[in-house]
Structure 1
């Protein structure tokens, strides 16, 4: 799977079979489930803020919602059995931890954790 991130706006997902789609921050829970299918894990709605989390692919993709709207996406490529490549504004940031990739995530204000490779990357909606 390839993920093209446009921080604060949307993430585009392209599968090995070349099916593609985009999720924008603010999208409803139902749209994520329509795109990915039933969540592998789904927390029940909690408190007045309506926090809910859906995960897919052994927890490698996590979608967080507040009041039914997508506000955060976390990707942990190493948890998936499928190869996940991540690009930020068309620049590859996954794979071996290069200085350029780390600099790119810092430039756009994306939280990323690197070991020898990208371990975790977290995208949030603007104004969050």
Structure 2
């Protein structure tokens, strides 16, 4: 899967089969479930940050909702059985990347944790 993030705006998803779609911050829970199908896990109650959460692909993809609207997307590529490539504004930031990718995520205000490779990346809605 390839994930193209445009921080604060939208995130595009492209599967191996070349099916694609985008989710925008502020989208309702129903739209995410329509696009990805039933969540693998879904919190009925709010998590510790006060958001409802849907997860997919062994927890590698997590959607958080505040007042029923998409607030944040967290990706943990290593948890997925499928290879996940992540791009921020068309620049690759996943896999064995260098300092330039780490600097790029910092420049656009994206929270990313790196070890030898990208471990976790979190995109949030603007002004939040």
Same fold (TM over 0.5): yes
Long gaps (5+) in structure 2: none
Structure 2 partner of 1:60: 60
Q: TM-score, normalised by structure 2?
A: 0.95
Structure 2 partner of 1:37: 37
1:30 match: secondary structure: helix
Q: TM-score, normalised by structure 1?
A: 0.95
2:122 match: secondary structure: strand
Question: Does the CA-based 8 Å contact 2:46-2:53 persist in structure 1?
Answer: no
2:119 match: secondary structure: strand
Structure 1's consecutive aligned runs of 4 or more residues displaced over 6 angstroms after TM superposition are none
Question: Does the CA-based 8 Å contact 1:88-1:105 persist in structure 2?
Answer: yes
1:50 is displaced (CA, Å) by 7.2
- Separation in structure 2 between the aligned mates of residue 92 and residue 46 of structure 1, nearest angstrom: 32
Structure 2 partner of 1:24: 24
Question: Does the CA-based 8 Å contact 1:72-1:124 persist in structure 2?
Answer: yes
1:55 match: secondary structure: strand
- Alpha carbon RMSD of aligned pairs, Å? 1.5
Question: Does the CA-based 8 Å contact 1:42-1:55 persist in structure 2?
Answer: yes
